[in-house]
Amino acid sequence: MTLSTRRQAKRAARREARRALPLWRRLLPTWRVTLGTLTALLLLAVGAFAVLYVIVPVPDPNAHAVAQNNIYLYSDGTTEIARTGAVNRTDVTIDQIPLQTQQAVVSAEDRTFYQNRGIDLKGMLRAGWNTLLGKGMQGGSTITQQYVKNYYLTQDQTFERKGRELFIALKVDQQRDKKEILAGYLNSSYFGRGAYGIQSAAKAYYGVDVSGLTLGQGAYLASLLQAPSLYDVKTATPANREKAVARWHYTLDGMVQLGFLTTVDRAATTFPEPIDPQPATGLSGQAGYLVGVADDYLISSGTIDAPTLKAGGWRITTTFEKPRQDAFVKAVQNELTDELDPRTRPTTDTDVRVAGASVDPATGRVVAVYGGPDYAKQPYNDALRQDNQIGSTFKPIDLAAGLIAQHTLDGRPITTETRYDGSSERPVTGGPTPYAPPNEDDVDYGNITLRYAMVKSVNSVYAQEGVDAGLARVRETAVKLGIPDSVRGMDPTNTSMTLGTATPSALDLAGAYATFANHGEAHTPWSVLKLERVNPGGAVDVPKMPEHKPTTAMDRSIADSVTDVLRDVVSPRGTGAAALDLNRPAAGKTGTTDSNLSAWFAGYTPELTTTVGLFRENPKSHAKEPLAGTAGLTRINGGAFPTKIWTDYMTTALNGTTPQQFDLQTGRSNPDPDNWTPTGTPNSTPPSAGTTPGTAATPTGAPAPTTHPHTPSTPPTTDAPAPGPAAPSPQNPDPTPSQEEQPSPTARPTQTTRPTKPTSQPTTTAGPTNSATAPAQ
């Protein structure tokens, strides 16, 4: 048998063997077919890669070097706020950059930089897989790829740009040495504060040339590359500051792992605080603050990233209304600045600062902010800072949480007319930590409703009510209203949270109160109407702006019930009485924190919500200082300067508009306190934390006007005399009956009559922590 015959016989035998196999097995390809197919695909991929490598050129540098200014406009689209922009960058050679700074950048951004060929296949595959899973365009780029993106391409997050980046990075890595690539990367990267390149960053953050950077300073600049706007510790929120410092530690630890730094030198390196931000030209007056709010919105909303925005060429139409912005500035001048006398009172009338924001509650548009007197002199935007406790302006959130819960944790009803013991320094029961806050001026109010306790800002009542509603629910309600969940002081494991240890910004607080004004529908405050850029050649970039759909934070009846109560705060006997000068329906709440470190008024009419905060800060240490003594006054409450500024601003801002009445749907009729009769037998002694009280009878069809467990030992109807009727006001021409029937507040004659306070009561601190504060209002 010939060789050819034997081969034919073998092929015939294989065919017969396959015919004998089951159908499903015959459908599978043989190993020869599989191997051949895979080999062909591999060769095809290699060929395609080779072709693309050849045909994708290294392009000329992009137009970043000739970027235009950014132009910011008021909401009318024509009035200019400011121009920012020509790119702030000075190129340097690699020899001018300290070796340890170079090594810090490698440690922070690409620890395989000196070994890889310009790309990191593992990182790219991981990023591509996450992108396919719908997690958004992912990173995974090497230093070489980032340099290619910065210098040759754009910041567009597309597969086409990523593919070009890969091939160009391979070519660049072949054509240039690592030193040249690293120098190009450090000269083209954005570091925040408008600084492009390591030289400008060294000047912006430490006031030195790049050659003068220390180890710690270089490591901090390297850490900024991941999130330059968020990791600037001088302007970052407390949470982002922690992340920035953690990133700095990560960079130094990586230097040790890579052999760039000894453990001894690592241990001896301390965090180098950068200098304060220096104002940019053209941002004096209010312009810098408005630009900061607009930039913060564009970046935080994901509309555009910081490097693309700072590259310039954008025309940005904001939501700010110039007449209202001017009115805010004038109100601060009229009601506060003109009352200060730094020469006569240098220790109390200096370093006084105001934070303010004004929002359209129906849309969430920010119409005005007050971040400071002059950005050129004070380059900190006080309207955005999140390190001042808001005090009793948090109490409406406590009330809303209680109304949402409807009952205390052990089943007693909560309404606006529920009665609580308003004795000063009455220990809170059921809370996670001991707490016995005093009322302002140590006044005992006796047995009062939640409504009246809001009018007089009674701390002892709302400390207990917040616990009864559930601190976790209080926190959840605050977040739904618009308070960021990342701010400090909203820890449900600390009872003092109920009285405003939270530290949202003035703009955050305005957004939360706007939700009350908008009947429970929440808008995240926004500040940019339109964004566009004309490119060389005439093409126009118009990024898609976020939609501003409201979310339901709570039922309308809940929000309107809170508004109904807050109208009574702006009344002749309320802590917000100064706002009556507005002469139109308004609702609001004052707030004053322990040690008089800050004072607030947050209020609204049906058409506009505004917050005003007041505090003092040491310009060198940035430590908070007491407001006591400011303008010669013993104490500065939220009902003083903050309310007066609010009223002055709102009067001008709403001038020429028809006053609107609140359209409230509380879902209830007010009960008559005279009909409330106790049931059961009152306790003969004040109940302890573990006492289970009796409840009050409720008239048919009325909400449950319950008596809180910690009431006086005698029944509410005989406990104390009721004052005369409240005077009508524009906010509440027909005072609520329960508001008229409250016991007369009394001050305790001596300290010896006070009940013993818990020995482990949370201590008061000056900073924005979760420690207890006792807001005066």
pLDDT digits 0-9 by tens, 85-99: 767 777 888 999 999
* 143: CB partners within 8 A, 6+ apart: 105, 106, 109, 110, 113, 181, 182, 185
Q: Which residue reads 């555009």 in tokens? A: 304
Number of Cβ within a 10 Å radius of residue 249 = 14
Rounded Cα distance between 248 and 241, Å, is 11
Strand order in the sheet with 80-84: 80-84, 70-73, 314-318, 528-534, 540-541
- Judged on CB neighbours under 10 Å (0-12, 13-18, 19+), 281 is exposed
Alpha-carbon separation of residue 210 from 74, 199, 215, 463, 545 (angstroms): 38, 5, 12, 53, 38
What local confidence, expressed as pLDDT, does residue 734 receive?
A: 42
Q: Taking the chain, what is the end-to-end CA distance rounded to the nearest angstrom?
A: 111
- What H or E segment, with its residue span, contains residue 324? helix 322-335
Q: From residue 707, how far is each of 40, 61, 70, 414, 495 by CA, in Å?
A: 83, 74, 60, 9, 21
Q: What's the pLDDT at 127?
A: 64
Helix (H, G, I), strand (E, B) or coil at 10: helix
State phi, psi for 413 to the nearest 5 degrees. Answer: -65, 150
Label residue 91 left, alpha or beta by phi (over 0 means left) and psi (-120 to 50 means alpha).
beta
Backbone angles phi, psi at 89, to 5 degrees: -155, 140
HSE-up of residue 302 (Cα within 13 Å, Cβ side) = 5
Radius of gyration for the alpha carbons in the chain, expressed in angstroms and rounded:
33
Residues of the chain with pLDDT below 50 are: 52-53, 56, 65-66, 136-138, 670-741, 748-774
- For residues 44 and 35, give the distance between their C-alpha atoms in angstroms, rounded to a whole number: 14
Burial 417-451 (b: 16+ CB within 10 A, else e): bbbbbbbbbbbbbbbebbbbbbbbeebbbbbbbbb
pLDDT score, position 370: 98
**Residue 714's pLDDT is what?**
30
> Are the C-beta atoms of residues 376 and 384 closer than 8 Å to each other?
no
Q: What is the DSSP letter of 135?
A: S
pLDDT of residue 150: 75
Query: Whole-angstrom Cα distance, residue 459 to residue 770?
Result: 17
Q: For residue range 563-574, list pLDDT tens digits in order.
A: 999 999 999 999
What's residue 90's pLDDT?
A: 77
Predicted confidence (pLDDT) per residue in 439-493, tens digit: 999 999 999 999 999 999 999 999 999 999 999 999 999 999 999 999 999 999 9
